Amino acid sequence: MENKWNWKALAATIGTFWGIYMFAATILEMYSVKILWFSPEVFRFMASIYPGVDASLAGAFIALFWGLVDGAFCGAVIAGVYNWFSDKFE
């Protein structure tokens, strides 16, 4: 029985979720909203990692772009590693 993950689907899913998260975190930082896990510390950490991300509308769209790219890459890697291990442990 073959148990493989579609790397394209996982890349698109994780990329979309991470991009939306980063976009929302930037918008919330613009308005100084502190709810749940969104805080200035999280935003400062995120802005220090991703170039061009700041508390502005342009920064929010840059964060969305970086989230899509970073999430897609991580999703593809996760699916690839899972598929590799699923072949080894069958």
Q: What is the pLDDT of residue 38?
A: 78
What percentage of residues in the chain have a pLDDT greater than 70? 99
User: pLDDT for 69-81, tens place per residue?
Assistant: 999 999 999 999 9
What percentage of residues in the chain have a pLDDT greater than 90? 70
Q: How many CA atoms lie within 13 A of 81 on its CB side?
A: 7
Q: What is the pLDDT of residue 87?
A: 84
Among candidates 44, 43, 49, 39, which has minimal Cα distance to 70?
49
- Kindly tell me if the per-residue pLDDT of 43 is higher than 60: yes
